Structure 1
């Protein structure tokens, strides 16, 4: 959905840990993860706000990044942090990753596209919250998903919803 409406070459839902970013849902990119040190998304999480990079070759933070100097030749990046409500923590909304769009051409920011990106990021947060609530309420869901023919519980839960939002139909 994000890719089709906005026309960017790549759309991702990324999750970030201490060493890497990995892609829970993706369109237009073959790899499943990249090192955190190359992750544009880590910068969006650090800023705790939408990160817009109109031309990565002109931004000192990214101009020598291997993802800019080589494939996928990132020029434009816009990412919105995805947060999750966490049980039993002092901070209720912790950043997990981003919903982002990427292009291999510099772009001017379209306010309508950015509004849509923020709305889609909120939808991703809602799917993650629903998945978390379902897992908390029904911790044995994985064994039932396997019995129903799914390879894992995530395939019948939030992952399918994320893929549907991004226009990936199995």
Structure 2
């Protein structure tokens, strides 16, 4: 691991710790101070790889895909509103055609709808390079997919 990668990894780890601490503090302030203990649920997703439409039979029931994941997360968040939704990378990259042919933009749109509290990039987020990863995060123009608009703001190729 290079010195740059080590410093970057340390920065990301410190950022995640600060963000999680902030979120837990915000959640606990909504409750009575008579009981200082608060139960926090962590729901994590990793290695999604743009599997928006990947299904399989599980105990005789069709499972998988974006809608299954979204329903599962929604159910458990509803059961415990003190939930932190996290992802630990490889959400894109190595994706099936439904996502990869559109430069993983469909997956990013789906992930944005889930409203993750915190996440970290994995190695596959960098498959197409740092500039492409930044474009997926902040929006921008991609020569293959054309002009892209996000958050009611037009973006240019400059990232």
How does the TM-score come out when normalised to structure 1? Answer: 0.25
The alignment's TM-score, normalised by the length of structure 2, stands at 0.26
Larger Rg, first or second structure (1 or 2): 2
- Higher normalized strand content (fraction of residues): 1
